[in-house]
Amino acid sequence: MKATALAHPNIALVKYWGKRDDALILPHQSSLSMTLSPLSVTTTVEFGVATDAVDINGHTAKGSERERVLKLLESVRAQTKQALGPAKVVSRGDFPMAAGLASSAAGFAALAVAGRAAAGLPSDARAASILARLGSGSACRSVEGGFCEWLRGERPDGEDSYAVQRFDAAHWPDLRMVVAVVDRGEKDVKSRDGMKQTVETSPYYPAWVRDAEAEVPRAREFIARKDLQALGELCERNAWRMHATSLAADPPLCYLNAGTLGLIQQLREARKKGVPVWFTLDAGPNPVLLTDAAHEVAAEALARACGALDVVRCVPGGDAVLKQEH
Ligand code: 2P0
């Protein structure tokens, strides 16, 4: 009735931005990401305790944070025939607070894997991915390592909307993602609200959906042949297009700041000098630089020279795993 799992976050190369179903977290388009090591979240789930309790990084979760965790576990309960009782959840991230990446994807992936195991359900990547998706969309891409594609699916019940691993972490060990933290502040508009506002008000949104869907197979092909330049260019244009459709929302959503743009400009200069480095950008101001092992030190130096407060160098990460209980 107790299990612990560890999962890594992921960074989207083709972004997920917008839901067609808010309750089931079903996206309008497919997306593709790379799992990031060494960052991780470890989560323990124990059923059969006195009352539900959710502890995240040493704090008792309240409100919507607690509700999202309990809703996911409700779905685990629905899949078992036995009465599991209330659950205790303890989750710890090893993210430096300044990593500039949300820990929710890794957190919900670890929760899904640990929750299924604690309930006695068999190991099943697809089922765990669907479960993780109910906590946070991008979490479905953190159940497996390497490079994962979240298939948008067609069904209204979401049973065909989950992530599949296209390549494992060993496929491209030379690839690097360098997180450049230019701003440690909390963003004004959370991703969940920002994407909803974009879907509802941006006139560019339908074009975003068509374009992102078409980019996924191209990204898959560039990863297959380990074409860093083609993947880097794709990443940049996909990030720009996600931000462009958000900027066109009403009221407009601007996640970039002067530090973001300064670093992006310097990347262009670096490429002219032969440094293979491109960026992607989530719903926040901190660029994540795509490069290879031979240039990660140069990428970090560039980020610091442009004022990055913290830099975290990441490699392709592995699957979410269960840990031995002692
Ligand atoms: C992504 N992001 O593909 C995109 C790119 C942010 C920008 O997934 O509402 O926390 O929990 O499904 O997954 C962030 O949104 O949103 C995100 P919910 P989530 O990684």
Phi (first) and psi of residue 73, to 5 degrees: -70, -30
Evaluate whether 169 touches 223 at the Cβ level (below 8 Å). no
Q: Is the CB of 286 under 6 A from ligand 1?
A: no
Q: Give the list of residues 6+ apart from residue 159 with CB closer than 8 angstroms, or none.
A: 130, 153
State pLDDT tens for residues 65-84: 999 999 999 999 999 988 99
Evaluate whether 158 touches 21 at the Cβ level (below 8 Å). yes
CA 48 to chain centre: 31
Query: At residue 95, does pLDDT exceed 90?
Result: no
Q: Is the CB of 236 under 6 A from ligand 1?
A: no
Average pLDDT over the chain, rounded to an integer: 96
Which residue has the least CA distance to atom 17 on ligand 1?
138
Quote the tokens at residue 92: 């710890």
State pLDDT tens for residues 217-272: 999 999 999 999 999 999 999 999 999 999 999 999 999 999 999 999 999 999 99
Measured CA to CA, the distance from residue 223 to residue 230 in angstroms comes to: 9
Q: Give the list of residues 6+ apart from residue 231 with CB closer than 8 angstroms, or none.
A: 13, 219, 222, 223, 278, 290
pLDDT range class, residue 86, cuts 50, 70, 90: very high
Compute the distance from residue 42 Cα to the ligand 1 centre, in Å.
20
SS3 97: helix
Phi (first) and psi of residue 136, to 5 degrees: -160, 135
Which residue has the least CA distance to atom 8 on ligand 1?
138
Taking residues 24-39, report their average pLDDT: 97
Compute the distance from residue 47 Cα to the ligand 1 centre, in Å.
29
Q: Please, what are the domains in the chain?
A: 2-168 (3.30.230.10), 175-316 (3.30.70.890)
Q: Is the CB of 289 under 6 A from ligand 1?
A: no
Q: Is the CB of 28 under 6 A from ligand 1?
A: no
**CB burial class (10 A; 0-12, 13-18, 19+) of residue 282?**
buried
Compute the distance from residue 152 Cα to the ligand 1 centre, in Å.
14
Evaluate whether 136 touches 283 at the Cβ level (below 8 Å). no
For residue 79, the tally of other CB atoms under 10 A from its CB is 12
- Residue 63 Rama label (left phi>0; alpha psi -120 to 50; beta): left
pLDDT at 325: 74
